[in-house]
Amino acid sequence: MRTRIIVLLAVLALLGAPMLFAGGGAEAEEDELEIFSWWTAGGEADGLEAMFEVYEERMPGIEIINAAVAGGAGTDAQAVLATRLQGGDPPDSFQVHAGQTLLDTYVAPGLMEPVTFLYDEHGWREVMPEGLIDLISVDGEIYSVPAGIHRSNVLWYNQAIFDEHGLSAPVTLEDAFEAAEVLANAGVTPIALGDTNTWPATHVFESLLLATLGPDGYSGLWTGATPWNHDGVYEALTVMDEMLEYVNSDHAALTWDEATGYVADGTAAMTIMGDWAQGFFTAEGLEPEVDYGWAPSPGTEGSFLLVSDTFGLPRGAPHRDNAVAWLEVVGSREGQDAFNPLKGSIPPRTDADRSLYDSYLRSAMDDFETNAIAPSVAHGAAANEAWADDVNSVMSFFVSERDVDAAVRNLVNTAAEHL
Amino acid sequence: MVASRTERLKAIAVVAPSVGAILLFVYVFIGWTVRTSFSQWRGILPDYTFAGFDNYIAVLNSPRFMINVWNTIFFTAFFLLTTIALGLLMAYILDKGVRGENFFRTVYLFPMAISFVVTGVAWRWIFNPTVGVNAILQTVGLDALVWGWHTDPSRLGTFHLALIPVIIAASWQLSGYTMAMFLAGLRGIPADLIEQARIDGASEFFIFRKILFPLLRPIVFAAMIVLGHFSLKIFDLVYTMTGSGPAFSTDFPAIFMYERTFRANQYGQGAVIAVAMLLLVSVVIVPYLASTLRKEKA
């Protein structure tokens, strides 16, 4: 009897031993750098890899651990990251969107270390626009280093269809509806939308808000300076309601890339989508300015609705020195010029090597330097996740029920909750 | 049964780890969730400051939650009905001694072995309004039956029509399982009982209604419990097939909880939804446990 119990205990001890060793093995090594992101495929992963190469040249002998988590536009990655931060196990640096995602979610609870010293040391303030730095600063301290910039307010159109019907890129909302009417009469679906994941509807809505309120009025919505029952909000929703008349009937079944595919293959004429759509056109083998064209989304010329991927320095990063060296690569011209052409985004630095970028990216770089910068809500810059989630929820109802008054009422209520 | 002291100690030693694990991973975590639901935890770091019923009020006031409750009720009702009816029908036919019974039994059971994620993606394409079932209906001239399936936000009262494709997909996957349960039940019914009824001149329908069905009642009950608690927690199938659907027409509490907690960082509200789901499941499970316990005592 007793022997049996001893055997049992021995077995348990043997089973337990590897776990103890596993725990020991996870302890921090000196020559490592763990980078967390949700860039796991395509140009994004290539861009990240290119930045790693720049790092390896500068810091030979340091092993980079790519802790990327796939899926869900970062939702799943953020859940994993939250768990790690709650458990006191931060990566050395992680991808985070500029704006409220960074400031409200990570900086406010004291999880981030300011990196203002890097900006002073390397003179980054002179080469990055103030509008961008504002989005990653609180109380005079800067909390992350932008790696790349995407533009949210872009209208993409199929050049062949526009040529065939004698149309040019619409500048105002009126132009856009005139073009849509011409196309609809000719039997072409004027506008492609794929809102099965809801955010593409919010994406269109933010571009319309920017058009009706202007960059200052739009930015004010998220700080309380512009009330949500402003006429501009009613107007944006009314325009959206009209716009939905010109949208493909199966929009609720499509994702954003399937909708972009409609423009690529000529099923639909135009779509409002961020400039990551260009990566899709390129993958389809289409040529910029030949097969497809672009313009700021109607009524938003002179404004740049921004989505920026940045890297920050979490408090308690296991290899802080390596992480700081990483942030120096992220903020360097060399690092940004390695990353952005592959990712299909523009560099936050205004002194980049323009010859590396294609014609769309060069036009976006020009606009980024001169335009008024406003934060995107569909992509976590303008509001914290809870507010953005509520706006998504309002848009999900709006696209189906098309009730402008109810939508404004709900937007006013959620704003009151989060301001 | 009288057991010696050592025997009893041995029994306790054997059971203790699993009891401990259940206590920790089930009951402690339930308690923790309830505590979180009364806390002000919003954002990444935990904050257990007491918030009263704030989170409960916020969730109950959300239009999405009411849609969730109705969707769960309708989905559970129709899903149970179709799965049990189809399972019973298939079992009844197979039990009649169809040729190739083994083959069909395996075919009907197979869907159960597939992950819900796979089923969800497959059915998402089957019901795609442009390339799916609609395309077939159009080619055969049944244009009247063409509609948006899971992308159609229209509803009858509080019943969202977009739930129909989800119910079809879920029933497809689990009818085979109920069939297996019923088949086992049917095989357990003594053949002479039915033989006797037949000699007495009873019709097939009468036999089914008065003999088979009453004897299968415990199986119907068991199937309802297994499928019911399962449909109340449904997540993966719907998440991959339709997401929340237009205007949340195919939204369920588990999806709401996931998005509220991990996308919006509203841990307190997420915990409230989890508690609501626990209450929903207990409505089904507690009476079942009570009746089983009563039977065991008697």
Give the pLDDT confidence of B134-150 residue by residue, as tens digits: 989 989 988 888 888 88
Mean pLDDT (whole number) for A175-179: 96
Alpha-carbon distance of A312 to A97, in angstroms, equals 10
Q: Are A250 and B63 in contact (CB < 8 Å)?
A: no
Helix axes B29-37, B267-297, angle to 10 degrees: 140
The one-character DSSP state at B200 is T
How is chain A split into domains, by residue range? 32-149+307-366, 154-305+376-418
Per-residue pLDDT of B60-105, as tens digits, reads: 999 899 999 999 999 999 999 999 999 999 998 998 878 888 898 8
Q: What is the pLDDT of residue A415?
A: 95
Q: Is the dihedral of CA A390, A393, A399, A402 positive or negative?
A: negative
Asked whether the predicted pLDDT for residue A3 surpasses 80, the reply is: no
Please tell me which residue of chain B has the smallest CA distance to A81: B44
Q: Residue B102 is which amino acid?
A: N
Q: Is there a contact between B44 and A85 if contact means CB atoms under 8 Å apart?
A: yes
Q: How much is the pLDDT for A10?
A: 52
B213 falls in which pLDDT band (50, 70, 90)?
Answer: confident
How high is the pLDDT of residue B52? 93
Confidence at residue A8, expressed as pLDDT on a 0 to 100 scale: 54
- Would you state the pLDDT for residue A17? 45
Question: Cβ B44–A75 below 8 Å, yes or no?
Answer: no
CA distance A127 to B170: 56
Structural tokens at position A404: 């402008």
Do the chains contact at A393 and B260, CB–CB below 8 Å?
A: no
Residue of B nearest to A379 (CA): B263
CA–CA dist A372, A285 (Å, integer) = 33
CB contact under 8 A, A253 and B247: no
Is residue B162 predicted with pLDDT exceeding 90?
yes
Determine the distance in angstroms separating the CA of B83 from the nearest CA of chain A, rounded to an integer. 27
Beta carbons of A386 and B266 less than 8 Å apart: yes
Amino acid in the structure at residue B43: G
pLDDT confidence of residue A70: 79
pLDDT of B175 higher than 80: yes
* CA dihedral of residues B8, B11, B12, B13 (deg, nearest 10): 120
* Contact residues, chain B, for A82 at CB < 8 Å: 44, 262, 265
The nearest alpha carbon in chain B to A77 belongs to B262
What sign has the CA pseudo-torsion A226, A230, A234, A239? negative
Buried/exposed code over A162-201 (b: 16+ C-beta within 10 A; e: otherwise): beeeebebbeebebbbebbeebeeeebbbbbbbbbbbbbb
Q: Which two tokens stand for residue B81?
A: 């009905």
* Domains A32-149+307-366 and A154-305+376-418 alike in fold: yes
Q: If you average pLDDT over every residue of chain A, what do you get?
A: 90
Per-residue pLDDT tens digits for A214-266: 999 999 999 999 999 999 999 999 999 999 999 998 898 888 989 999 999 99
A116 interfacial to chain B (CB closer than 8 Å) = no
Dihedral sign, Cα of residue A165, residue A170, residue A175, residue A176: positive
What is the reported pLDDT for A22?
42
pLDDT confidence bin for A26, thresholds 50/70/90 = very low
Residues of B with CB under 8 A from a CB of A: 6, 13, 42-46, 63-64, 128-130, 148, 150-153, 242-249, 259-260, 262-266
Q: Tell me which chain B residue has its CA closest to the CA of residue A397.
A: B247
| Among chain A residues, CA nearest to B261 | A79
Q: How far is B45 from chain A (nearest CA, A)?
A: 6
CA–centroid distance for B131 within its chain: 29
pLDDT of B287 reads 84
A415-418 LR contacts (CB < 8 Å, sep 24+):
A415/A221, A415/A224, A415/A228, A415/A387, A417/A387, A417/A390, A418/A383, A418/A384, A418/A386, A418/A387, A418/A390
How high is the pLDDT of residue B145? 86
**Structure tokens given for B226:** 């297994």
**Taking a C-beta distance cutoff of 8 angstroms, is the pair B178, B84 a contact?**
yes
Domain boundaries, given as residue ranges, for chain B: 22-297
Q: With a CB-CB cutoff of 8 Å, which residues 375-414 of chain A face chain B?
A: 384-386, 388-390, 393, 396-397, 399-401
The answer on pLDDT for A306 being more than 90 is yes
Angle (nearest 5°) at CA A56 between A333 and A124? 25
pLDDT of residue A298: 96
B245: distance to nearest CA of chain A, Å?
A: 7
Q: How many Å lie between the alpha carbon of B152 and the closest alpha carbon of chain A? A: 8
Q: Is A104 an interface residue toward B (CB < 8 Å)?
A: yes
Of B46, B148, B259, the CB nearest to A389: B259
DSSP string, A102-144: IIIIIITTT-B---HHHHHHHTHHHHS-HHHHHTTEETTEE-E
Characterise B146 by phi-psi region: left (phi > 0), alpha (psi -120 to 50), beta (else): beta
| Contacts B246 to A, Cβ<8 Å | 195, 252, 396, 399-400
CB atoms A386 and B264 under 8 Å:
yes
Is residue A288 predicted with pLDDT exceeding 50?
A: yes
Q: What whole-number distance in Å separates Cα of residue A417 and Cα of residue A221?
A: 13
Which of A75, A388, A401 is nearest residue B247 as measured by Cβ atoms? A401
A413 chain-B contacts, CB cut-off 8 A: none
Where does the pLDDT of residue A2 fall: very low under 50, low under 70, confident under 90, or very high at 90 and above?
low
**A381: DSSP letter:** S
Interface contacts A/B by beta carbons within 8 Å? 82
Query: From A386, which residue of chain B is nearest by alpha-carbon distance?
Result: B264
Two tokens at B35?
């505590």
Does the beta-carbon distance from B262 to A82 stay under 8 Å?
A: yes
Query: How high is the pLDDT of residue B83?
Result: 95
pLDDT above 50: residue B275: yes
User: Is 50 exceeded by the pLDDT of residue B10?
Assistant: yes
Of all residues in chain A, the one with the smallest CA distance to B245 is A196
CA A192 to chain centre: 20
CATH of domain A32-149+307-366: 3.40.190.10
Q: Is the model's pLDDT at A371 over the cut of 60?
A: yes
CATH number of the B22-297 domain: 1.10.3720.10
A250–B43 C-beta distance less than 8 A: no
Give percent of chain A with pLDDT exceeding 90: 79
B-contacting residues in A 246-275 (Cβ below 8 Å): 249-250, 252-253
Using a CB-CB distance cutoff of 8 angstroms, which residues of chain B are in contact with residue A75? 262-263
| pLDDT at residue A71 in the model | 66
**Average pLDDT for B96-123:** 89
Chain A contact probe: residue of B44, B126, B250 with most A CBs at under 10 A: B44
Q: What is the pLDDT of residues B219-260, one digit of tens each?
A: 998 899 889 888 988 999 999 998 888 889 999 999 999 999
> pLDDT value at position A30?
74
Domain A154-305+376-418 fold is D-Maltodextrin-Binding Protein; domain 2 (3.40.190)
Give the model's pLDDT for residue A24. Answer: 38
Report the residue of chain B nearest A82, measured CA to CA: B44
Q: Which residues of A touch B49 (CB under 8 A)?
A: none
For residue range A64-77, list pLDDT tens digits in order: 999 998 765 677 78
Which tokens sit at B123? 């059915």
Cβ-based contacts of B265 with chain A (< 8 Å): 82, 105, 384-386
Nearest residue of B to residue A402, measured between CA atoms: B247
Residue B292: the pLDDT is 81
The model's confidence at residue A5, banded by pLDDT at 50, 70 and 90, is low
Nearest chain A Cα distance for residue B266, angstroms: 7
**B contacts of A198 (beta carbons < 8 Å):** 243-244
pLDDT 10s digits, A112-158: 999 999 999 999 999 999 889 999 999 999 999 999 999 999 999 99
Check: CB of residue A333 under 8 Å from CB of residue A349.
yes
Chain A hits for B5, CB-CB cut-off 8 Å, are none
